[in-house]
Structure formats: C-alpha cells, structure tokens
Chain A
Amino acid sequence: MLWVTSIFTIVCVLIAVAFYTLYERKILGYIQIRKGPKSVGFWGILQPFADAVKLFLNELILPMKSNKVLFMMAPILGFSLALFLWVIYPSVYCIKFISFSLLIFLCISAINVYCILLAGWTSNSKYAFLGALRASAQTISYEVSMLFILIVPVLLIFETNMEMALKGYSVMFLMFPLLLVWFTTTLAETNRAPFDFAEGESELVSGFNVEYGGGLFALLFLAEYANIIFMSTMSMIWFFYNNNSFLFVLGIVFFSTFYLFARGAYPRHRYDLLMMLCWKSFLPFGICMLFLCLLCWLIMMYFNYIF
C-alpha cells in the first residue's frame, strides 16, 4: 500500500513539474512578446517530455579532479528529498496522519542546503564553488526568517498538522503584509529570480550546476521545480482557508504563476542588499509579528479575566 501510494505521488509530482516547466516557458515567452514552445505536439504540450528524453540520452560527464561518487550522489539526494517533501502534502483523501508535518517540512528544507553545497563543492570548478557558497548562505539566512514567519500562522491556527491547518481560517485577511514577506522569502529560499544568485548567469555561468549535464542535471532541475511548487502549496495551506480541494489546487497554480511573473518582471537583485534584506528587515519583522500575536493574546486574556 505504501509503495502504491508513494509511486502514485511521485508520478503526479513529476507530471506537475513537467507541465510547470512548459508553463514557465510559455509565460516568459508571452512576457517578452513572443510565443513559447509551440511545435512539439499540440501547442507544445509534449515539449517537457521531449526535453526529458533529450536530457536522459545525453552523455554522463564526470569532471577530471572531482569527487566522482559524491558528484553523482548530490542530484540523487536532492531529488529524493524533493520527492520526500511531497509525502506531507495534505489531502482530504490521505492515508497517513503526521501530527508534526511542519517540523518535517523544516527538517527537509534544512537538508536541501547540503545537496546544493555538495553539488557545488564536489564538481571542483570555481564557478560551481562560488555559486554553491552564495546559494548556501542565501538559503540558510532566509530559512531563519522563513521559520519565524511560518510560526505566526501556526500560532494563530493552533495547529502544526497540515491536514488540520487546511480547515483553519484565512490568516491572509488578518495579516496581509506577512503574506507578501512570506512570498519574497520563498522566492529567495528556492533560489528563484530576482534572487537567483545560485545561478547568476551574468557572472557565474550557471552557478552550482555548471559541471552537471544530462540526466544528473535533469534530477537537480526536477528537484528545484518540485520545491517551488511545494512552497506555493505551503503558502496556500498556511495563509488561506481551503475547504474546496479544487480551489486549493487552483491557488497553488496562482502562487506558482507569481514566481514566473517575478522572474519575468524584475532584474537581478544585489547580493549584499539581499542578505541585508533578510537579516535587517525580514527577521526583525518576523519576530515582531510573533510578539504582536502574543501581546494580543495577553490583552484578550486580561479582558476575559475582567469581564
């Protein structure tokens, strides 16, 4: 039973990621006033599958002085972590009940840093090394502010389980600025444009995955996009009231569309400004939001005591 459900989850995730890449190329195309992929299949529907076949037929190249086993381990680790993240996807029809799914989410998103660092360090190239350093520093510092922001809706809904959090209430209407900060944090956490310093094309050629090609690159790529879709799922779970599973999925598509709009609209940020944005603006904001919640509780308790 476990095998069947997990394989079903994996197939769904892979198909979602495949069509998400097509969606990205279409949207970026229309932002730049051109059509995206349109020849393969009908309206370019089969383009992601053609890309996958092409990538998996490419040659495996191991760089000369790299640590070969670790070099091949990094994409496998990243891909399996990204798939494992989707196990805690909340559904009405679930067979499992994980009461601390938020904690599992935090653990896995912390381990993701190792995958990036491993991929960059083992490939023994300067570009990859610098890209991995930047990416890991960025992911680490945004993780802290992400956790503090995420704890606020958890304290408001009183749940750490995602299936129960679906039946909470809309934190978005209570604290709209928190949603904006959360969205920016997820952009930086998944190394997306305008914060894509892990693969800054202008200075580092492709960042931590320069040396990767073919199937190993495909695994890294799939992991990154699966993480992006899961991040938009998280924002849907913790910031909205979802009683309808169709509207829930539609909301995920809505959030992942905003990732693409941000990529199409904004130029790349500056690295030191990005770090300062995290440590000097988002982290104090998150802590103060938590503070505000607790203060409101205390005041409410006080009035309950009086009346």
Chain B
Amino acid sequence: MVNLFTIMLFISMIMFFMYLMLFYKNYSLEKQSAFECGFEPLSEMRTPFSLRFFILVILFLIFDIEISLLFPIISISTLMLSLFMKTSLLIFLIILLIGLFHEWNEGAIDWMSMF
C-alpha cells in the first residue's frame, strides 16, 4: 500500500514538474495580489471564524471514534457473530443514538442558536 501511494505521489509530482517546465512566464506585481473584487486587499486575511465550525469538528471526532470502534466488530462478523456480540452492538448503538439526541436537545448541532 505504501509503495503504491509512493508511485501515485511520484506521478503527480512528475505532472507538476512538467507543468513547471511548460508554462510561459510573464510576472507582474498586480497578478500576485490576492483576489478581492478588483480592490487592493486592505484587511487582515486569516480572520477568526465562527465557533460553530469548531463545535462541529468536536462532534465529528466523537462519531468518527465510534465508527472506528464499530469496524473491528464488522471484521469479526465476517468470521462469526455470537448472540453476546449482537446484543452488545445493539446496546452500543442505542447509547450512540441517545448521545446524539442529547446533543440535539442541548442545541449543540443547531446552526443558529435560538436563545
């Protein structure tokens, strides 16, 4: 897998260097300024952003970890799946769903807070 990825990276690097050799150079200062509707860029560029995005990423982290916990169960399920495994998976999913509804009730996943 790693050597396959190296091959792919190598080939895209080759395409990039081909492009570096091909293009026609015509530099000017105005071309290099950042895009801002024809004006000179006046204000700060990397501004602070809404906290919503940050909360969303934290929520994503939780659910992604749950999925990575689900994956071993799936890989075992191709071999065998006992009654105990099935019931524990069910309880796990119930806890997950209740957690999601709790977040919903708290208003963490509302994009615009009502209060």
Chain A residues packing against B (C-beta within 8 Å): 2-3, 6-7, 10, 56-66, 72, 75-76, 79-81, 83-84, 87, 98, 100, 103-104, 106, 110, 121, 123-130, 133, 136-137, 140-141, 143-144, 147-148, 151, 154-155, 158-160, 205, 210-211, 214-216, 218-219, 271-272, 275-276, 279-280, 283-284, 287-288, 290-291, 294-295, 297-298, 301
Contacts and interface: CB of A to CB of B under 8 A. Distances in A.
Contacts of B115: none
Contacts of A276: 109-111
B1 A287 contact: no
Contacts of B71: 103
Contact of B8 (A80, A130, A137, A294): A80
10 A-B pairs with least C-beta separation: A215-B19, A272-B111, A125-B34, A80-B12, A83-B8, A79-B12, A279-B109, A80-B9, A144-B63, A80-B8
A140 B60 contact: yes
Interface of B: 1, 3-5, 7-9, 11-13, 15-16, 18-20, 22-26, 31-36, 41, 43, 45-47, 49, 52-53, 56-57, 59-60, 63-64, 67, 70-71, 74-75, 77-78, 81, 83, 86-87, 89-90, 93-94, 96-97, 100-101, 104, 109-112
Nearest to A159: B78
A141 B77 contact: no
24 contacts: A58-B23, A58-B24, A59-B31, A60-B20, A61-B31, A63-B32, A79-B15, A84-B8, A137-B57, A144-B67, A148-B67, A159-B78, A160-B78, A205-B35, A211-B34, A214-B23, A218-B19, A280-B109, A283-B100, A290-B93, A291-B90, A294-B86, A297-B81, A298-B87
Given A60-B19, A140-B56, A297 B11 contact: no
Contacts of B53: 133, 136-137
- Chain A, interface SS category: helix
A62 B41 CA distance: 15
Nearest to A158: B78
Given A104-B1, A124-B45, A151 B70 contact: yes
B111 to A, nearest CB: 4
A38 B17 CA distance: 32
A155 B60 CA distance: 23
Contacts of B81: 297
A76 B13 contact: yes
Contacts of A218: 19
A56 to B, nearest CB: 5
Given A143-B60, A144-B67, A148-B67, A294 B90 contact: yes
A129 B41 CA distance: 14
Contacts of B43: 126
Contacts of B4: 2, 6, 84, 87
A280 B87 contact: no
Contacts of A103: 71
B78 A141 contact: no
A7 B34 contact: no
B93 A294 contact: yes
Given A216-B19, A298-B87, 15 more contacts: A56-B18, A56-B23, A59-B23, A60-B20, A61-B31, A76-B12, A80-B11, A125-B34, A136-B53, A141-B59, A154-B74, A155-B77, A272-B111, A283-B100, A284-B100
B11 to A, nearest CB: 6
